[in-house]
Amino acid sequence: MKKYHKIIFNCMAVIITLLLTATTVLAADKEYKLKDIDLTVTAPDDLIVFTRETTASNPNYDYIDKEALELTADMEQKNMYLYAIDKDSTYDITIIATRAPSSLEYYNNCTDEEIDTIMATNRRDLEAIPNLTVNSIDVYEQSDTKMIRYDVVNASESDGLNKVYIIEYDTVFQDFEYTIKLQSYGKEISDDTLRMFDDMVKNMSFSELSGSSVRTRIVNEALELFIGAAMFIAFLGIILFILNMSKKNKKKHVL
């Protein structure tokens, strides 16, 4: 019997190891490769992050009122490649990208005078929007590309909220127009949240990535199904093995 106990123990150890390994991988996944727009983003653990590669079984869906297919369709419609919220849903972070028209210059190729003109034009357009306050518009030198940083407050009644505090970084680079936006609902952005967001932007890497989000999501979902099926089969095998051994032991003790 000791021999069988050892076999059972080893099988259970394998299953537990698989579970712990999968959990550890998920917990350590701070880097998000947005392959369709050649952008890599690093986010802190406590953010609830969704990308177009997030599978339907991801526990982050427990924090929102949308299912995987609905959120993915919404992200595609809005040209969104990353959506993140804090656990209290007081703010969100979005990354939006669209193909840049050929007439647009990369910000890296623009002179200071051209960037100043862009900022002046955008300030004029923003200040013409009712209930919108422009606190500042500045140039930000990210390691890969020049950006324009906007600090605005939207007090529009149509938002259904008192105020929305917005920090936004925009750039034109490698054939895309990028918008990285932080929105805090009903209260000013805390210093800690602001530092976290600015660090996210600072550490972004704009570099060519292989593959696509659709293909990666399909592969990840297939892998999750395979692991789940393998664990179920292993667990079922252990139960059948225990039952079989129990029957054999009963036969040995029959007089």
Q: DSSP readout, the chain?
A: -HHHHHHHHHHHHHHHHHHHHHHHHHHT--EEEEGGGTEEEE--TTSEEEETT--TT-GGGGGSS--HHHHHHHHHHTTEEEEEE-TT-SEEEEEEEEEPPTTSPPGGGS-HHHHHHHHHHHHHHHHTSTTEEEEEEEEEE-SSSEEEEEEEEE--GGGTSS-EEEEEEEEEETTEEEEEEEEEESSPPPHHHHHHHHHHHHT-EE----S-HHHHHHHHHHHHHHHHHHHHHHHHHHHHHHHHHHHHHHHHT--
Whole-number Cα distances in Å, 146 to 88, 174, 232, 236: 32, 12, 51, 57
- Give the range among 5-14, 39-48, 124-133, 135-144 with minimum mean pLDDT: 5-14
Please give the share of the chain, as a percent, with pLDDT higher than 90.
62
Nearest to 38 by CA among 216, 214, 211, 201: 211
Model pTM score: 0.74
CB 99 within 8 A of CB 176: yes
| pLDDT, tens digit (0-9, with 9 covering 90-100), for 88-99 | 999 999 999 999
137 — pLDDT class (breaks 50, 70, 90): very high
Q: What is the mean pLDDT of the chain?
A: 82
| Averaged pLDDT for residues 63-80 | 93
**pLDDT of amino acid 30:** 76
CB 203 within 8 A of CB 42: yes
The amino acid occupying position 252 is: K
**pLDDT of amino acid 222:** 45
- CA-CA-CA-CA torsion for 18, 54, 31, 26, nearest 10 degrees? -20
Among 150-154, 208-212, 225-229, name the most confident range.
150-154
Extract the tokens encoding 131.
Answer: 């209930």
Burial group, residue 166, by CB count within 10 angstroms (0-12, 13-18, 19+): middle
Q: Which residue has the higher pLDDT, 162 or 238?
A: 162
| pLDDT, tens digit (0-9, with 9 covering 90-100), for 213-253 | 655 544 444 444 445 444 546 555 566 656 666 666 666 65
20 — pLDDT class (breaks 50, 70, 90): very low
